[in-house]
Amino acid sequence: MKSLLDKHGRSIAADTLLDVGCNKGTRSIAAANILGIAHHNVHGVDIEDISNDSPLLRNNFKKIDLEDGLLPYDDNSFGLVICNQVMEHLKNYNRIFQEIIRVTKRDGFIVLGIPNLAHLMNRILLLFGTQPMCMIMRSGHVRGFTHKAFLEFLHSQSPVKLINCKGSSIIYPLPYVLAQPLSNIFTGLCAYTCYLIQKNSDHD
């Protein structure tokens, strides 16, 4: 996620940020710092109540169950919405995605991050009949997305357009010195993928 924000930061003219699945808010504030968004304009939602644990989002945090699929904000509220490593935990991922689009301002941006089911290591594990890493039985993941399938999903969403995507520099079992340059070429083999999306200016 950081590499996409670093690369496109100048074109992301956002003054407000919502982190969907914000955890303790550390990532939310880090993103705000990259883009020059004032901390009092950073908001977060999560299923866990972090209001007493994190001073970062104490005044702008809402505890909600994302599986219900509703975000407690007005239409066109945020210049940037982040949803990183969350959709794989949701049965109704499309509903929350539509909500993310709804609360994003016209011409605003969305950053999504997901573990890649087609990660090179997962392909090797499946070859030997072993559960892939992002879908292990004891995890909270209920969905698996390949990079290719997620791209098709994004391209089918008329209210938004894909600006860029980036694979992580982690491609197990390759060493980092090989994985880092290869991640720029073979996104579909990376452990995680991240997508920068823009809401169309004519969508309510």
List pLDDT tens digits, range 121-171.
Answer: 999 999 999 999 999 988 899 999 999 999 999 999 999 999 999 999 999
**20 is written with which tokens?**
């969907």
What pLDDT, on a 0 to 100 scale, did the predictor assign at position 51?
Answer: 67
Reported for 62-66, long-range contacts at CB under 8 A and 24+ positions apart, including other chains, are 66/20, 66/21, 66/90, 66/96
pLDDT of residue 8 exceeding 90: no
Q: Which residue has the tokens 């995605």?
A: 97
Mean pLDDT of 10-17: 89
Write down the mean pLDDT value for the chain.
92
pLDDT of residue 11 exceeding 90: no
Confidence of residue 77 (pLDDT cuts 50, 70, 90): very high
Torsion of CA 31, 83, 111, 61, to 10 degrees: -40
Q: Rounded to an integer, what distance in angstroms lies between the CA atom of residue 31 and that of residue 78? A: 14
Confidence of residue 55 (pLDDT cuts 50, 70, 90): low
CA distances from 178 to 118, 183, 185 (A): 18, 9, 12
What pLDDT, on a 0 to 100 scale, did the predictor assign at position 4?
Answer: 83
For the chain, which domains are there? 2-115+143-167+193-199 (3.40.50.150)
pLDDT per position as a tens digit, 103-119: 999 999 999 999 999 99
What pLDDT, on a 0 to 100 scale, did the predictor assign at position 135?
Answer: 93
**What pTM did the predictor assign?**
0.94
Q: Which amino acid is at 77?
A: S
Mean pLDDT of 48-77: 84
